[in-house]
């Protein structure tokens, strides 16, 4: 009894000591975070890089010479900065080319339609596809119209914008669904939050079972115009011409550099964005801002002479837009050989950052493991309070790190206000002038501090 009596207080004392010793990560990393935050908020190097890739190189579609220029430039610049193990991981990517393209309403009004062919679409013959148009809002409406009225027509999907997931359905498989009912081409109202007569491209998929028909996005304005003409009882005829074609797979690469961990070099925190973009605008928000923010975060850690416990690696993944070949190859060839303790992607643009979303495979948001990770992340974001990055929400990741998530790596995404992202996304309007340099610096700061602490802290998120 006496020993028991003696033991209990000892346990309590030890527990109390443990609690006192297990300082919050915000306490532990306050000084280091201050150095990183200060450096990021006055940083000019990130903007210079962002300016270079957007205005000197331009858009970077898989298979394009611009993408190869961007990869080479990052490879050389990372080496020049003294990052370690800088490399290009070869990846074969789909090679779709747009060629010349146009759409024109021929009747009842003769009018050029601003358009962008959808990535992966087949082209037309040189004389184009000329056919009457029918308009539907949804797949249910298409099915209700039925084959007899769809056959030989151009189907226009005029779904009202709700959110990206809901609306991009029609871009993704509208052509296939229309083709199965005998349509000769598909047009989709651009997947956009707001429009100033802007066309937005994006990927679409053909299915092996269905005939392949050309598919293009038109503007919100023209989709509404055509709908009104049809609703007034008039026939609308459109001519669509596209030279689009898919060439044999092209050579590309993931590009990466790192700071090798001082204690656990084979444990990795990876952060990045995708280096490819669509072939319009500058791919500035999507996703030059992400890949450059991640790289610059690493550059700042390096410049401050910080060397975390684990390896910290910045990656520019290739081919996110139309294949995810980069993210898949990274998982298969690199992550398969090294323990990845966390993966962070920034691929939502560089509007005002608000927090990180995160997810742990096989652990629901209410599981003890998730709650423990949530606590640690909340401690880390306390260090970002002053720049408005305060929230940790479930459901995180990014397209390029989804393969890592499937293998059990905890994944995080930097999320932001998303006020205008889908006004610019996949269009000629996604250009450097849409990025606020101060918000961009905050993104760099958030990535630098989050990734550094995750790479340096005693345990991992999954512990």
| Residues with catalytic roles | 320
Q: Quick one: which of 35, 41, 47, 51 contacts a second copy (CB under 8 A)?
A: 51
Q: Which is nearer to a second copy, 55 or 332 (CB)?
A: 55
DSSP secondary structure, 36-52, as one string:
HHHHHHT--HHHHHHHI
Q: Which of 167, 168, 198, 311 binds a second copy (CB under 8 A)?
A: 198
For 296, half-sphere exposure in the C-beta direction (CA atoms, 13 angstrom radius) is 27
Q: CB–CB of 124/210 below 8 Å?
A: no
- In the range 110-149, which residues lie near a second copy by CB under 8 A? 111, 114
Residue 47 in the binding site for a second copy (CB under 8 A):
no
The answer to whether 116 and 216 have CB atoms below 8 angstroms apart is yes
Instruction: Closer to a second copy by CB, 234 or 332: give it.
Output: 234
Shortest separation between residue 202's beta carbon and a second copy, angstroms: 16
Q: How many residues bind a second copy (CB under 8 A)?
A: 30
Q: Is residue 423 a contact residue for a second copy (CB under 8 A)?
A: yes
CA distance 23 to 155: 61
Q: Does 102 bind a second copy (CB under 8 A)?
A: no
Beta bridge partners of 128: none
- Chain positions 304 to 333 lying near a second copy, rule: CB under 8 A, are none
| Token pair in block for residue 261 | 């961990």
Question: Which window, 124-132, 240-248, 356-364, 425-433, contacts a second copy (CB under 8 A)?
Answer: 425-433
Q: Residue from 31, 433, 458, 459 that binds a second copy (CB under 8 A)?
A: 433
User: Distance from first CA to last CA of the chain, Å, rounded?
Assistant: 36
If one counts every other C-beta atom within 10 angstroms of the C-beta of residue 246, the result is 17
What minimum distance in Å lies between the beta carbon of 63 and a second copy?
Answer: 17
Separation between Cα atoms, residue 168 and residue 174, nearest integer Å: 9
Nearer to a second copy, 208 or 433 (CB): 433
Helices 437-456 and 30-41 meet at what angle, rounded to 10? Answer: 150
Dist. CA 14–CA 440, nearest whole Å:
45
The answer to the question of residue 160 lying near a second copy (CB under 8 A) is: no
Which residues in this chain contact a second copy in the complex, by CB under 8 A? 51, 55-56, 58, 109, 111, 114, 194-198, 219-221, 224-225, 228-229, 232, 281-282, 423-424, 427-429, 431-433
């Amino acid at each position: 009894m006496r020993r028991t009596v003696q033991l209990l207080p000892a346990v309590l004392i030890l527990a109390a000591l443990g609690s006192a010793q297990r300082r919050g990560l915000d306490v532990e990393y306050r000084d280091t975070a201050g150095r990183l935050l200060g450096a990021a908020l006055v940083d000019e190097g990130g903007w210079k890089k962002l300016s270079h890739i957007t205005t000197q190189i331009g858009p970077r579609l898989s298979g394009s010479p611009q993408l190869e220029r961007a990869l080479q430039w990052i490879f050389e610049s990372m080496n020049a900065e003294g990052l370690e193990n800088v490399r290009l991981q070869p990846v074969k990517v789909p090679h779709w080319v747009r060629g010349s393209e146009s759409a024109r309403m021929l009747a009842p009004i003769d009018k050029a339609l601003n358009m962008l062919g959808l990535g992966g679409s087949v082209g037309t013959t040189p004389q184009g596809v000329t056919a009457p148009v029918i308009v539907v809002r949804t797949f249910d409406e298409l099915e209700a119209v039925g084959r007899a009225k769809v056959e030989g027509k151009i189907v226009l999907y005029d779904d009202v914008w709700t959110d990206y997931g809901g609306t991009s359905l029609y871009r993704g498989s509208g052509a296939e669904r229309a083709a199965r009912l005998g349509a000769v081409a598909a047009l989709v109202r651009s997947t956009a939050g707001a429009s100033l007569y802007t066309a937005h491209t994006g990927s679409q998929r053909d299915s092996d079972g269905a005939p392949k028909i050309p598919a293009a996005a038109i503007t919100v304005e023209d989709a509404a115009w055509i709908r009104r003409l049809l609703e007034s009882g008039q026939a609308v005829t459109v001519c669509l011409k596209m030279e689009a074609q898919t060439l044999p797979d092209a050579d590309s690469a993931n590009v990466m550099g790192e700071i090798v961990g001082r204690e656990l070099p084979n444990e990795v925190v990876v952060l990045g964005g995708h280096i490819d973009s669509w072939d319009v605008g500058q791919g500035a928000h999507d996703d030059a801002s992400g890949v450059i923010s991640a790289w610059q975060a690493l550059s700042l850690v390096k410049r401050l002479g910080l060397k975390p416990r684990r390896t910290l690696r910045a990656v520019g993944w290739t081919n996110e837009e139309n294949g995810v070949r980069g993210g898949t190859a990274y998982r298969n060839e690199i992550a398969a050989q090294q323990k990845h303790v966390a993966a962070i992607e920034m691929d939502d643009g560089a509007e005002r950052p608000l927090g990180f979303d995160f997810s742990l495979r096989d652990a629901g948001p209410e599981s003890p493991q998730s709650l423990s990770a949530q606590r640690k992340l909340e401690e880390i974001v306390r260090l970002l309070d002053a720049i408005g990055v305060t929230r940790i929400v479930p459901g995180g990741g990014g397209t390029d790190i989804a393969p890592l998530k499937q293998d059990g790596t905890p994944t995080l995404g930097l999320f932001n206000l998303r006020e205008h992202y889908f006004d610019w996304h996949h269009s000629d309007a996604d250009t450097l002038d849409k990025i606020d340099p101060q918000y961009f610096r905050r993104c760099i700061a958030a990535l630098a501090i989050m990734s550094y602490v995750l790479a340096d802290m005693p345990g991992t998120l999954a512990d």
